[in-house]
């Protein structure tokens, strides 16, 4: 059966961790806060910044300011510390050729997501790219999915593809199954505990699962 497939971006389509973590460290440096090692900040890839920054001990009243500082750095350098996972373009091409409808559902600001996808010539595979807005509208993955559901026709099968519990939890709110990938930034068992229906370890495994 042809499906509507909602892809997460960071950690699923592209490996953007280096830029996200680096810019997170620059925000911490700005506020004179302790800066963890990069390996201890991998969890930053996936959740909205409004979720991440409290965990980094940034005061609540500084959250919006910290987001602007982060975006200032990310738009200039962090966005380029990024690359598609090997084989992702071939996967998307095959799924498109098979007649599936492809979408992007990301917590990254929509304009940034489009810039990343355009940079790597991936935009052409997707009917719609949806992310959050600068003012925090659609900040949560469930809100992004809710927006995209207007493009789904009654009776169409929908599946989410992601790499963190945030993808699984967001899809759960809409009773959408999530298949997760192991090459991203989530913990496999955490994602299974959250309700992921499968973990795939290669592009071919993901392709075969989506064509069931």
**Structural tokens at position 10:** 């960071």
pLDDT of residue 46: 83
pLDDT of residue 94: 98
pLDDT of residue 188: 96
pLDDT of residue 133: 83
Find the catalytic residue in 8, 10, 139, 143.
Answer: 8
How far apart CA 74 and CA 157 sit, in angstroms, is: 35
162 closest CA partner among 54, 8, 1: 8
pLDDT of residue 48: 87
pLDDT of residue 1: 79
Residues of the chain with pLDDT under 70: 136
pLDDT of residue 180: 98
pTM of the model: 0.90
Which DSSP string corresponds to the chain? Answer: --EEEEE--BTTTEE-HHHHHHHHHHHHHHHT-----GGGGGGGSSS-HHHHHHHTT--GGGHHHHHHHHHHHHHHTGGGS-EEPTTHHHHHHHHHHTT-EEEEEEEEEHHHHHHHHHHTT-GGG-SEEEEE-TTSTT-SHHHHHHHHGGGSPTT-EEEEEESSHHHHHHHHTTT--EEEETTSSS-HHHHHHHT-SEEE-SHHHHHHHHT-
Is 143 an annotated catalytic residue? no
Matching residue, tokens 């026709």: 153
What's the order of all strands across the beta sheet hosting 198-200? 128-132, 101-109, 3-7, 157-162, 178-181, 198-200
pLDDT of residue 152: 95
pLDDT of residue 103: 98
pLDDT of residue 110: 93
């Amino acid at each position: 059966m042809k499906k509507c497939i909602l892809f997460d971006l960071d950690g699923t389509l592209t490996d953007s961790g280096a830029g996200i973590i680096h810019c997170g460290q620059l925000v911490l440096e700005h506020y004179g806060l302790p800066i963890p090692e990069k390996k201890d900040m991998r969890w930053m890839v996936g959740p909205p910044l409004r979720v991440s920054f409290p965990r980094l001990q940034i005061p609540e009243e500084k959250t919006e300011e910290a987001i602007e500082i982060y975006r200032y750095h990310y738009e200039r350098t962090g966005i380029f510390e990024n690359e598609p996972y090997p084989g992702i373009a071939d996967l998307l091409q095959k799924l498109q050729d098979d007649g599936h409808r492809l979408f992007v559902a990301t917590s990254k600001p929509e304009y940034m997501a489009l810039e990343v996808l355009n940079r790597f010539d991936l935009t052409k595979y997707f009917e719609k790219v949806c992310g959050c807005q600068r003012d925090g509208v659609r900040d949560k993955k469930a809100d992004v999915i809710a927006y995209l559901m207007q493009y789904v026709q009654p009776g169409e099968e929908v599946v989410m593809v992601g790499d963190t519990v945030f993808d699984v939890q967001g899809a759960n709110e809409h009773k959408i199954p999530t298949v997760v990938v192991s090459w991203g930034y989530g913990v496999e068992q955490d994602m299974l505990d959250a309700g992921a229906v499968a973990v795939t370890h290669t592009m071919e495994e993901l392709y075969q699962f989506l064509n069931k």
